[in-house]
Amino acid sequence: MSETPSTLAGSSPGLFDGVLARGEVREATSDRAWLQAMLDVEAALARAEARAGLFPPAIADEIGRACRAEHFDVAAIGRSAAATGNPVPALVRALTAQVGGVGGGEVHRGATSQDILDSAAMLIARRALLPLSADLDGAARAAARLAERHRQTLMAGRTLLQQALPITFGLKAAGWLSALDGATARLEEIARSQLAVQLGGAAGTLASLGTAGPAVMGFLGEELGLAVPLLPWHSSRERVAALAAALGVAAGAIGKVARDVTLLAQTEVGEAHEGERAEASAPAASAEGAPSRRGGSSTLPHKNNPIAAISATACAARAPGLVATLLAAMVQEHERAAGAWHAEWRPLNDLLVTVGSAAAWLRDCLERLTIDQGRMRANLGATHGLLLSERVTAALAPHVGRLVAHDLVTDACAEAAAAPRPLAEVLAARPAITAWLSPLEVDVLLDPSDYLGSTQLFIDRALRVHAARHGDAGPRDEVLPP
């Protein structure tokens, strides 16, 4: 059975889909993709029951041949769902009529609507996670290239949006890499262990299948390639919640990187820019026929907005609310829920789409990101040495004590910032400091390239873990802590 419902493409893109539904996840979660997933479950159920000896394999084959989305009217099934509270009864009636005869009588045997929809949701999630994870991994690979290429590129590290200490852009990119790799690993683990088949019948007992119930459940899991749970999970929604949480974490990791890029791309900062792709040889035409430049404005000709980072931020921002809805829906009554299960459908689908879109946009952003090393170095020097004040304090502390050293350097920094004057010049005019540190020593202390701590080690760690995920050798032979 194909993992990608490629034959189900054809839903028209919406007005906002170009921004909020980028990438392949949109089609993997379309209405027709859901319809095919439900049909895939019905076909697999028939094969599982045939394997359990409930009816001949020929009947399962007959049912399977009818389980093709193009044989059914998605809109009509959706309209009929209003009468039964979900679309499965209408689909079962249409499928039974499609099969006809003896085979039609075996359609949906022993199952309840939630069995079909929950199992279909797990299929949809698995299919959507394939392109989503691929885009996350593509973004991580781009971050790894940036980390390696710019491991020595000096820039200002910023805390609370203020310049703090010198770092390298390679370290920043390594932080992005580590978060993206972690998010991808979580989603891969969810795909392996949490996406389980659902089969419990009306109240989770599979009574209508007699003693064959557990065997059918096991065979159904095998047919669909989904995990087989210990027991039906109709009103125990930990699996959906775990998926939602992992998607929410992925959205947070994506949003953090995208936010960094938008801040670095500000006119006054100018340290990073989204470049054009190499294959884009000519500007695309807009709806009015005029050339449309990536990042342009409808009114300001000079604008060059970081569109990919902006769009990734927008998509990621939608995720927390959807995650919260799915977590709230975990509280379900008795053996089957009255409304909470139904409340999951749209948020789960929307969450897959928005995180998939965010991942696609971030990959686009990082694969085209260009770094202005000169601007980074210029911004690093904008405070005339203030970023190294911690280092001066540490060098002075053994002579006068840490608090006295802190107060002396703080006072000097305030004078240097107010003037403004180079910090080295102010320090050189203060006897309480020059008594212990010569001007030459101060100049050495204020060199940003010599105050990077464990930057290279941390970059190597991130690159090593990333390489291990892909079966490559790491950059160094360092033994990492557990």
Beta partners for residue 227, in sequence order = 196
C-alpha 312/C-alpha 363 separation (Å) is: 9
Instruction: Estimate to the nearest angstrom the gap between the alpha carbon of 471 and the chain centroid.
Output: 22
Instruction: Estimate to the nearest angstrom the gap between the alpha carbon of 80 and the chain centroid.
Output: 35
Q: Which of 89, 77, 97, 85 shows the shortest CA–CA distance to 116?
A: 89
Query: Of the listed 336, 368, 391, 464, which one is catalytic?
Result: 336
Instruction: Tell whether the torsion through CA atoms of 92, 98, 99 and 101 is positive or negative.
Output: positive
H-assigned helices in 226-318: 238-264, 307-317
Query: Of the listed 292, 297, 438, 454, which one is catalytic?
Result: 297
C-alpha 117/C-alpha 147 separation (Å) is: 43
C-alpha 164/C-alpha 389 separation (Å) is: 9
Active site residue 336: yes
Preceding omega of 420 cis (within 30 degrees of 0): yes
What is the CB neighbour count within 10 angstroms for residue 269? 16
Active site residue 93: no
Q: Are 40 and 1 in contact (CB under 8 A)?
A: yes
H-assigned helices in 305-344: 307-317, 319-328
Q: Residue 437 corresponds to which tokens in the numbers above? A: 């540190």
C-alpha 314/C-alpha 328 separation (Å) is: 23
- Return the active site residues: 297, 336
